[in-house]
A = this chain, B = another copy of it.
Amino acid sequence: MRTVRQVARAAGISVRTLHHYDAVGLLKPGHVGANGYRYYGKEELLRLQQILFYREIGLPLAEIAAVLDDPAFDPLAALREHRAALEGRIGHYRTLICTIDRTIASLEKDEDMEDNDYYAGIAPETRDRWQREAEEFWGKDAVAAAAAKARSFSKEQVAAIQAEMESIRADFQRLFREGADPASDAVQAVTDRHYRWVSHSWTPDAAEFRGLGRYYVENPEFRGTYDDDKLPGCPEFIAAAMAVYADRSL
């Protein structure tokens, strides 16, 4: 039986937060003394842990209550929905940043224009120039084909592709947690889906596919995406599967 302060300190939250959770019925103390003091037991502490977890990922308190109290409530669905909402917000912020950048650019241009019109009219030719540079490096056809192919995807197609990648990732993680062998049929089946996914825009040969696996291992962004915190070694697992796949099937 701990007092508010003890619980608050242990959980790294404020006393007011506990009061609030009590007020909204999210977390009630196990016992209330005759003096009105709140006392929390182990059960409440466990519930608090869960509350804090869901709060950390940005779920509103009402949703948290629903998840924890309604046994019929599907936490998986809630999480997925919330995830989608977060992605939407990210996209929103990106467009905002885009707008800001444009404004900054125009403001800067205006100021400079007062002195001289240095930037005027540069855009079209310059754009052509770097495009030619790109073509020199990889060949005209390759650049044109890749760009055309990538641009040919509709919004829905892009969404579907991203969803497929999510699914592939989840499958890899599940298999990894289950301790599957990277060379096993199950893992190789997912790897095949992954290869096809990559092939949406690019058809890597064996060496390139292995190289992509290595990139997954060595790039922190990918390591983050593949949950390195809780699943240490998952990127290596995927890379190993990709290497096996490259050897066998490419």
Which residues of A pack against B, CB within 8 Å? Answer: 53, 56-58, 75-76, 79-80, 82-83, 86-87, 89-90, 93-109, 118-119, 121-124, 126-127, 129-131, 133-134, 137-138, 143, 146-147, 150-151, 153, 155, 158, 161-162, 165, 169-170, 173-174, 176-183, 198, 200-202, 210-212, 214-215, 217-221, 223-225, 227-233, 235-237, 239-241, 243-244
The residues of B that contact A182 with a CB separation of less than 8 Å are: 130, 133
A241 to B137 CA separation, bound complex (whole angstroms): 11
Complex partner residue of A217 from B143, B165, B218, CB under 8 angstroms: B143
Q: Report chain B residues within 8 Å CB of A97.
A: 83, 86-87, 170
Q: Name which residue of chain B comes closest to A49, CB basis.
A: B115
B131–A174 touching, CB < 8 Å: no
Residues of B within 8 A of A122 (CB): 176-179
Q: How far is the CB of A71 from chain B (nearest CB, A)?
A: 12
